[in-house]
Amino acid sequence: MTFLTGPTTEELKETAERLGLHIAHSDLEFYRSSIDNTVSAYTAIAALDEALPQVKYPRTPGYQPMGNENKYNAWYRKTDIRGASTGKLKGKTVAIKDNVCVAGVPMMNGASTLEGYVPEIDATVVTRLLDAGATIAGKAHCEYFCFSGGSHTSAHGPVVNPRKPGYSAGGSSSGSGALLAAGEVDLAIGGDQGGSIRMPSSFCGVYGMKPTHGLVPYTGIMPIELTLDHTGPMSQNVSDNALMLEVIAGPDGLDPRQINVTTDNYFKALTGQIGKLRIGVVKEGFGLVNSEPEVDKLVRKAAERFRKLAHT
């Protein structure tokens, strides 16, 4: 059982200086005394019995790769967590976005203020990946608290796009997209509130799925907002994406986002008959001041391809 203690004034001063803040001694004393009530509340909570989910698979904290071992700055930590001996993802390597808890492995969510935090649990999606036989190769850098669509805000520096060095890898699942594009992993977990799976997938030329809200449990993942939080699969091809979604989707009994969740055999559906589809194209999405004509052209070309396939 771990009980919290409040920081000393000297520790607050050291933290402030590390973050580039200059705070008067009297203010530091005020902050220190203000923390006491909060700390006592957390201490009371810590004293309660807590049934944490079992951590099934052996692991080490891993290490932070440097130099040629991390030439795109896409890795936060490298690990080697072997899952079950059989399963749908046996032989597949996975990078986990660093807003997702992996027990015993440091996690910072791209932010200097979280560096040093080590989760005690595996997120539901992590357990499901390991149960399906996957190997977790490490934690992928993400943007500072996942609040950027670029790949330049992580506290450990920008993530480079392997397809076109010097250009953005997209965010906030920047490391996940870059590691897939570089061929360093087969699969990756991404998170998406406003494009954070879709943008890096697009920028890096890989495949990303923002699942239906609540389809994949968000338990054990750093949230932004309950009605916007999504986590989902990123991969080098469509079939692996469908297979990964099949593994991680479904209720876990813990995530309040999940109501009447139903799943399907997504991998098998790739070879099924989809029938005739009616597809909507948002006309206001083109020709904006900040639109790129080449992107507009490519989206219209994709829409026309559906028409040639006899869809409406």
229 plus 297 within the same structural domain: no
Q: How far apart are the first and last CA of the chain?
A: 61
Rounded to an integer, the average pLDDT of 119-142 is: 98
Q: Which residues are within 8 A (CB) of 209 and not within 5 positions of it... i.e. 6 or more apart?
A: 197, 232, 233, 234, 241, 245
193 plus 226 within the same structural domain: yes
Q: How large is the angle between the packed helices 9-18 and 25-46, nearest 10 degrees? A: 110
Q: What is the mean pLDDT of the chain?
A: 94
What pLDDT, on the 0 to 100 scale, is given for residue 3? 65
Residue 140 maps to a domain: yes
Euclidean distance between CA atoms 107 and 114, whole angstroms: 7
Given the residues 148, 154, 168, 172, the one annotated as active site: 172
Euclidean distance between CA atoms 12 and 27, whole angstroms: 10
Domain carrying residue 34: 9-46
More reliable by pLDDT, 140 or 3: 140
pLDDT surpassing 60 at residue 1: no
How many angstroms separate the Cα of 163 from the Cα of each of 169, 204, 235?
Answer: 9, 6, 15
Q: Is the Cβ–Cβ distance between 226 and 256 less than 8 Å?
A: yes
More reliable by pLDDT, 253 or 41: 253
Residue 59 maps to a domain: no
Q: Is the Cβ–Cβ distance between 171 and 160 less than 8 Å?
A: no
Residue 117 maps to a domain: yes
96 plus 168 within the same structural domain: yes
Residue 241 maps to a domain: yes
148 is catalytic: no
Q: Length of the chain in residues, anyone?
A: 312
104 plus 245 within the same structural domain: yes
151 plus 244 within the same structural domain: yes
40 is catalytic: no
203 plus 291 within the same structural domain: no
107 plus 256 within the same structural domain: yes
Given the residues 196, 201, 210, 235, the one annotated as active site: 196
More reliable by pLDDT, 40 or 157: 157
73 plus 191 within the same structural domain: yes
pTM of the full structure:
0.84
Euclidean distance between CA atoms 277 and 307, whole angstroms: 10
24 plus 106 within the same structural domain: no
Per-residue pLDDT band for 2 (boundaries 50, 70, 90) equals low
Residue 281 maps to a domain: yes
Q: Cite the DSSP H helix spans in 9-85.
A: 9-18, 25-46
90 plus 197 within the same structural domain: yes
Q: Cite the DSSP H helix spans in the chain.
A: 9-18, 25-46, 124-131, 174-181, 198-204, 238-248, 266-269, 293-308
Residue 62 maps to a domain: no
Long-range contacts of 268-273 (CB under 8 A, 24+ apart): 269/242, 270/238, 270/239, 270/242
Residue 52 maps to a domain: no
196 is catalytic: yes
pLDDT surpassing 60 at residue 292: yes
Domain of 224: which CATH number?
Answer: 3.90.1300.10
75 plus 151 within the same structural domain: yes
Rounded to an integer, the average pLDDT of 240-245 is: 98
Under DSSP, the state recorded for 168 is: B
Structural domain count, the chain: 3
Euclidean distance between CA atoms 203 and 200, whole angstroms: 5
Given the residues 92, 97, 139, 210, the one annotated as active site: 97
Sign of CA dihedral 140, 74, 68, 237: positive
pLDDT surpassing 90 at residue 236: yes
Sign of CA dihedral 130, 99, 139, 1: negative
116 plus 252 within the same structural domain: yes
pLDDT surpassing 60 at residue 163: yes
Per-residue pLDDT of 24-44, as tens digits, reads: 999 999 999 888 878 888 888
Strand stretches in 148-211, DSSP E: 187-192, 207-208
